[in-house]
């Protein structure tokens, strides 16, 4: 059939393109008209999808971006060669002049403001390393690491603002994932075909981004490396070298920081670090809430769902701890965790939980990734949806929704309400 | 949904009559200039091909914003490829459309998107009767769903023929196939689209 009709179809298309009517086109082929007519109807439909006007400003925007990229490429090559002896001496002399001119305090202040590529930037890094070595307390060290990590992000922003091209790396949380553009720690990160991804990266996870700041204000990623993510679930079993959270075994090592008094059945927040070989080790385990003795208000669905990384809810964790008056006083600092986990998802902080509640309730905002049946996925979180779930605004995949969910005894989350955001 | 073949002339299909804005010229001279990142050549090539690449991407994606991103990205990739010693040897347009095709694939692979929710800019107007507008919007969404049910290659050929307005030979060139293969492919694509849209009167 294809062979018989593809030529007449092409002829018909050419005739139509010359302005003939469908009837005129079909008239010489009455025998083929029953087959050709539906195809010409499909042509109409296919035509309706096209003929889009280029939006105003799109060409100029794209041209600007292309020219900026060209300028960046031009500036980046020829690649800076290793400096000869005299230029290096001249550079060192210039640095010395700067140091002498500013004095130690002034140099320290100037170095703090420096960006990668600046003469004083190595001073800033050495100073940071020194402070890290001097920090003997774990919390102090974690706080410093979080501070320096944020500084690297700020430096990238500074370089992008200045339009400087430099190879850099930084650590931050994935906020948005688009086809060619992600947002990581507030930085627009361009994803190319050569970008290498290590680990299954989802929104809300912490990653290391290696790449190049670009003149167009984006960061071109060469490699994205999954570093850590947070997961919430009940403790199913405890062993010296492995805990099972929900149904997921997570290795424990000497570095794992575990909040005291956690028992099987407790709901815990685990920061999972992904190692080079892909294995996963708990970095910290914090008590989120004690076991729930009574079921949540709605009937839980019977099907089990897989665990998935959950966004951190440090504020809620604190509230839950305060509500249950845990004896582990003075450990609030641990809640903040390395890297400032409270910012790790687009989810909004919830209002205060009612004191003494038996339910673990969570409210968050996220993007619908899968919808339908008894299971939805919103920003990587698996939700059980039943007839009792209130769904407002007819959200579909891609929509941003507000979710109110309750933790079930089996560790899954039942969605009480899913509401389309305006 | 029924698409009637009742219209008399093919005014909705200007692309095939007029052909693309530019012909399949050899771009070798410009390419050597572009390899040197000459801004004037770049601006000239960009402005010449951007509308074609955008229309192709918009046809495939049904989303103006993503289409703009894809089209723009194709030019950035062009520069990076040329600078790395790769990129097109003769036809810039073929290379750009091919890259846009890959970017569209990447897009569908990488993200969940909802083209059926997008309002068709061409039909949206403040003066529209809401009922009529709703009907058009539903039809547009149905059409988009039907289109996306086709294979990537079928979508590619329809986008070139009816989105880009390339003729048979140009399409064959862009898809690196012979004209007979394109004829067969467009036949299968249109038949599949018709099936996906449903039979008349259904």
Q: How confident is the model at residue A141 (pLDDT cuts 50, 70, 90)?
A: confident
pTM more than 0.80: no
End position of a domain, from candidates A69, A100, A134: A134
Structure tokens at A149: 């990590």
Do A352 and A422 lie in a common domain? yes
**pLDDT for residue B56:** 93
Q: How confident is the model at residue A339 (pLDDT cuts 50, 70, 90)?
A: very low
| Range from A259-263, B86-90, B151-155 that averages highest in pLDDT | B151-155
**pLDDT for residue A359:** 58
- Mean pLDDT computed over every residue of chain B: 76
CA–CA distance, A383 with A404 (Å, rounded to integer):
10
Q: Tokens 């839980």 identify what position?
A: A300
Query: Which is more confidently placed, A380 or A188?
Result: A188
Domain assignment present for residue A406? The answer is yes
Q: How confident is the model at residue A95 (pLDDT cuts 50, 70, 90)?
A: low
Reduced to 3 states (helix: H, G, I; strand: E, B; else coil), residue B201 is: coil
| Residues 6 or more apart in contact with residue B174 via CB below 8 angstroms | B93, B94, B97, B98, B160, B166
Do A42 and A93 lie in a common domain? no
- Poorest-confidence range of A31-35, A100-104, B79-83? A100-104
**pLDDT for residue A84:** 53
For the stretch B69-78, pLDDT in tens is: 999 999 999 9
CA torsion sign, B25 to B28 to B29 to B35? positive
CA–CA distance, A52 with B121 (Å, rounded to integer):
8
Indicate yes or no: CB of A69 within 8 angstroms of CB of B76. Answer: yes
Q: Looking at the predicted structure, is the pLDDT value of residue B19 above 60?
A: no
B10 → closest Cβ in A17, A41, A45: A17
Q: Looking at the predicted structure, is the pLDDT value of residue B30 above 60?
A: yes
Q: How confident is the model at residue B155 (pLDDT cuts 50, 70, 90)?
A: very high
- Mean pLDDT computed over every residue of chain A: 73
Q: Looking at the predicted structure, is the pLDDT value of residue A135 above 50?
A: yes
> What is the ipTM, given to two decimal places?
0.79
Rounded to an integer, the average pLDDT of A75-100 is 58
Give how far the C-alpha of residue A159 lies from the chain's centroid of Cα atoms, to the nearest Å: 22
**pLDDT for residue B101:** 92
Domain assignment present for residue A341? The answer is no
**pLDDT for residue A350:** 34
Q: Tokens 């729930």 identify what position?
A: A292
**pLDDT for residue B60:** 92
Q: Looking at the predicted structure, is the pLDDT value of residue A305 above 80?
A: no
A268 close to A234: Cβ distance less than 8 angstroms: yes
CA–CA distance, B114 with B202 (Å, rounded to integer):
25
Residue A9 Cα, gap to closest chain B Cα (Å): 7
Domain assignment present for residue A263? The answer is no
**pLDDT for residue A101:** 60
Residue B172 Cα, gap to closest chain A Cα (Å): 13
Indicate yes or no: CB of A49 within 8 angstroms of CB of B143. Answer: yes
- Poorest-confidence range of B3-12, B104-113, B133-142? B3-12
B27 close to B90: Cβ distance less than 8 angstroms: yes
Domain assignment present for residue A148? The answer is no
Q: Looking at the predicted structure, is the pLDDT value of residue B165 above 90?
A: no
| Residues 6 or more apart in contact with residue B181 via CB below 8 angstroms | B172
- Phi, psi for B146 (deg, rounded to 5): -60, -45
Indicate yes or no: CB of A59 within 8 angstroms of CB of B51. Answer: yes
**Crossing angle between the packed helical segments B179-197 and A33-48, to the nearest 10 degrees:** 80
Rounded to an integer, the average pLDDT of B119-131 is 52
A46 → closest Cβ in B67, B140, B162: B162
CB atoms under 10 Å from CB of B114, counted, come to: 16
Q: How confident is the model at residue A51 (pLDDT cuts 50, 70, 90)?
A: low
| Range from A135-144, A368-377, B53-62 that averages highest in pLDDT | B53-62
Q: Looking at the predicted structure, is the pLDDT value of residue A303 above 50?
A: no
Residue B48's Cβ-count burial label (10 Å; 0-12, 13-18, 19+) is middle
CA–CA distance, A49 with B136 (Å, rounded to integer):
12
Q: Looking at the predicted structure, is the pLDDT value of residue A312 above 70?
A: no
Rounded to an integer, the average pLDDT of A34-60 is 82
| Range from A32-41, A294-303, B75-84, B114-123 that averages highest in pLDDT | B75-84
Rounded to an integer, the average pLDDT of B55-75 is 91
Query: Which is more confidently placed, B183 or B6?
Result: B183
| Range from A60-74, A82-96, B112-126, B141-155 that averages highest in pLDDT | B141-155
**pLDDT for residue B158:** 92
Mutate to test the interface with A, among B150, B187, B192, B196 (most CBs of A within 10 A): B187
Indicate yes or no: CB of B194 within 8 angstroms of CB of A66. Answer: no
Mutate to test the interface with A, among B39, B118, B162, B164 (most CBs of A within 10 A): B162
Give the fold, CATH level 3, of B149-202: Arc Repressor Mutant, subunit A (1.10.10)
Indicate yes or no: CB of B187 within 8 angstroms of CB of A63. Answer: no
Q: Looking at the predicted structure, is the pLDDT value of residue A407 above 50?
A: yes
How many domains is chain A built from? 3
Could you say which DSSP state residue B163 is in? I
Q: Looking at the predicted structure, is the pLDDT value of residue A306 above 70?
A: no
Q: What is the CATH number of domain B24-113?
A: 1.10.1740.10
CA–CA distance, A39 with A27 (Å, rounded to integer):
15
Could you say which DSSP state residue B56 is in? H
Query: Which is more confidently placed, A372 or B138?
Result: B138
Domain assignment present for residue A236? The answer is no
**A11 to each of A18, A58, A419, how far by Cα in Å?**
11, 36, 52
Domain assignment present for residue A397? The answer is yes
**pLDDT for residue A100:** 61
**pLDDT for residue A3:** 59
Indicate yes or no: CB of B190 within 8 angstroms of CB of A74. Answer: no
Rounded to an integer, the average pLDDT of B152-168 is 89
Residue B187 Cα, gap to closest chain A Cα (Å): 6
Query: Which is more confidently placed, B122 or A62?
Result: A62
Rounded to an integer, the average pLDDT of A222-242 is 87
A57 close to B68: Cβ distance less than 8 angstroms: no
Domain assignment present for residue A227? The answer is no
Give how far the C-alpha of residue A256 lies from the chain's centroid of Cα atoms, to the nearest Å: 24
Could you write out the DSSP letters of every residue in B73-115? HHHHHHHHHHHTT-S-SS-HHHHHHHHHHHHHHHHHHH----G
For the stretch A191-224, pLDDT in tens is: 988 888 888 888 778 899 999 988 888 899 999 9
Structure tokens at A409: 């005894």
Size of interface A-B (CB pairs under 8 A): 215
Q: How confident is the model at residue B27 (pLDDT cuts 50, 70, 90)?
A: low
**What would you report as the CA-atom Rg of chain A, rounded to the nearest whole angstrom?**
29
**pLDDT for residue A98:** 59
Rounded to an integer, the average pLDDT of B103-108 is 86
Range of the domain at A105: 85-134
Rounded to an integer, the average pLDDT of B8-30 is 45
CA–CA distance, A198 with A321 (Å, rounded to integer):
35
Rounded to an integer, the average pLDDT of A346-358 is 36
Indicate yes or no: CB of B17 within 8 angstroms of CB of A18. Answer: yes
Indicate yes or no: CB of A65 within 8 angstroms of CB of B187. Answer: no
B59 → closest Cβ in A52, A178, A397: A52
Chain A residue closest in CA terms to B154 = A46
Q: What percent of chain A has pLDDT over 90?
A: 3
Query: Which is more confidently placed, A382 or A343?
Result: A382
CB atoms under 10 Å from CB of B167, counted, come to: 19
A50 → closest Cβ in B59, B146, B194: B59
**pLDDT for residue B100:** 94
For the stretch A278-298, pLDDT in tens is: 788 898 888 776 554 444 444
Domain assignment present for residue A191? The answer is no
Q: What percent of chain B has pLDDT over 90?
A: 24
**pLDDT for residue A209:** 93
Q: How confident is the model at residue B96 (pLDDT cuts 50, 70, 90)?
A: very high
B69 → closest Cβ in A54, A180, A396: A180
Q: Looking at the predicted structure, is the pLDDT value of residue A365 above 50?
A: yes
The CATH number assigned to the domain holding A414 equals: 2.40.50.320
**pLDDT for residue A358:** 46
B188 → closest Cβ in A2, A40, A69: A2
CA–CA distance, A72 with A67 (Å, rounded to integer):
8
Rounded to an integer, the average pLDDT of A156-185 is 85
The 3-class SS string of chain A reads CHHHHHHHHHHHHHHHHCCCCHHHHHCCCCCCHHHHHHHHHHHHHHHHCCCCCCCCCHHHHHHHHHHHHHHHHHHHCCCCCCCCHHHHHHHHHHHHHHHHHHHHHHHHHHHHCCCCCCCCHHHHHHHHHHHHHHCCCHHHHHHHHHHHHHHHHHHHHHHHHHCCCCEEEEEEEEEEECCCEEEECCEEEEEEEEEEEECCCCCCCEEEEEEEECCCCCEEEEEEEEEEEEEEEEEEEECCCEEEECCEEEECCCCCEECCCCCCCCEEEEEEEECCCCCEEEEEEEEEECCCCCCCCCCCCCCCCCCCCCCCCHHHHHHHHHHHCCCCCCCHHHHHCCCCHHHCCCCCCCCCCCCCCCCCEEEEEEEEEECCCCEEEECCEEEECCCCCEEECCCCCCCEEEEEEEECCCCCEEEEEEEECC
Domain parsing of chain B, residue ranges: 24-113, 149-202
């Amino acid at each position: 059939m294809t062979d018989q009709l593809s030529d007449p179809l092409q002829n018909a298309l050419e005739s139509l393109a010359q302005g003939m009517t469908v009837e005129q086109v079909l008239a010489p082929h009455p025998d083929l008209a029953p087959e050709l007519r539906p195809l010409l109807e499909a042509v109409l439909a296919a035509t309706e999808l096209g003929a889009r006007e280029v939006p105003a400003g799109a060409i100029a925007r794209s041209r600007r971006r292309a020219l900026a990229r060209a300028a960046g490429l031009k500036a980046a090559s020829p690649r800076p060669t290793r400096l000869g002896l005299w230029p290096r001496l001249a550079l060192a002399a210039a640095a010395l002049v700067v140091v002498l001119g500013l004095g130690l305090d002034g140099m320290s202040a100037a170095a703090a403001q420096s960006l990668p590529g600046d003469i004083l930037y190595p001073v800033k890094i050495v100073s940071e390393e020194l402070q890290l070595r001097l920090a003997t307390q774990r919390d102090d060290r974690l706080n410093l690491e979080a501070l320096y990590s944020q500084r690297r992000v700020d430096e990238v922003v500074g370089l992008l603002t200045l339009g400087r091209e430099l190879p850099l790396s930084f650590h931050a949380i994935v906020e948005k994932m688009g086809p060619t553009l992600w947002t990581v720690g507030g930085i627009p990160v361009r994803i190319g075909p050569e970008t290498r991804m290590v680990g299954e990266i989802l929104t809300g996870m912490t990653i290391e981004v290696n790449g190049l700041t670009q003149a167009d204000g984006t960061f071109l990623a060469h490699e994205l490396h999954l570093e850590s993510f947070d997961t919430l679930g009940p403790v199913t079993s405890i062993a010296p070298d492995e805990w099972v959270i929900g149904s997921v075994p997570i290795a424990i090592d000497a570095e794992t920081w575990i909040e005291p008094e956690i028992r099987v059945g407790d709901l815990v927040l685990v920061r999972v670090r992904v190692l080079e070989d892909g294995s996963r080790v708990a970095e910290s385990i914090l008590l989120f809430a004690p076991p729930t003795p009574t079921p949540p208000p709605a009937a839980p669905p019977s099907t089990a769902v897989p665990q998935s990384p959950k966004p951190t809810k440090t504020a809620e964790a604190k509230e839950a701890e305060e509500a249950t008056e845990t004896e582990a006083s003075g450990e609030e600092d641990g809640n903040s965790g390395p890297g400032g986990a409270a910012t790790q998802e687009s989810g909004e902080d919830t209002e205060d939980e009612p004191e003494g509640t038996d339910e673990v309730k969570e409210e968050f905002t996220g993007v619908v990734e899968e919808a339908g049946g008894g299971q939805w996925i919103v920003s990587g979180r698996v939700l059980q949806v039943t007839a009792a779930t209130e769904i407002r605004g007819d959200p579909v995949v891609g929509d941003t929704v507000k979710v109110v969910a309750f933790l079930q005894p089996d560790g899954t989350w039942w969605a009480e309400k899913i509401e389309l955001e305006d | 949904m029924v698409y009637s073949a009742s219209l008399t002339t093919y005014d909705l299909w200007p692309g095939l009559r007029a052909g693309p804005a530019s012909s399949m010229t050899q771009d070798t001279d410009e390419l050597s200039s572009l390899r040197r990142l000459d801004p004037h050549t770049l601006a000239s090539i960009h402005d010449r091909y951007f509308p074609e690449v955008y229309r192709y991407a918009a046809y495939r994606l049904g989303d103006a914003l993503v289409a703009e991103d894809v089209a723009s990205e194709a030019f950035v990739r062009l520069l990076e490829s040329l600078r790395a010693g790769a990129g097109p040897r003769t036809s810039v347009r073929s290379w750009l459309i091919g890259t846009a095709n890959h970017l569209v694939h990447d897009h569908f692979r990488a993200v969940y998107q909802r083209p059926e929710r997008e309002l068709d800019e061409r039909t949206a107007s403040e003066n529209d009767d809401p009922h009529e507008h709703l009907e058009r919007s539903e039809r547009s969404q149905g059409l988009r769903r039907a289109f996306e049910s086709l294979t990537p290659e079928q979508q590619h050929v329809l986008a070139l023929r009816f989105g880009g307005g390339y003729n048979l030979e140009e399409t064959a060139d862009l898809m690196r196939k012979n004209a007979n293969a394109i004829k067969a492919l467009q036949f299968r694509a249109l038949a599949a689209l018709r099936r996906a849209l449903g039979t008349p009167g259904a």
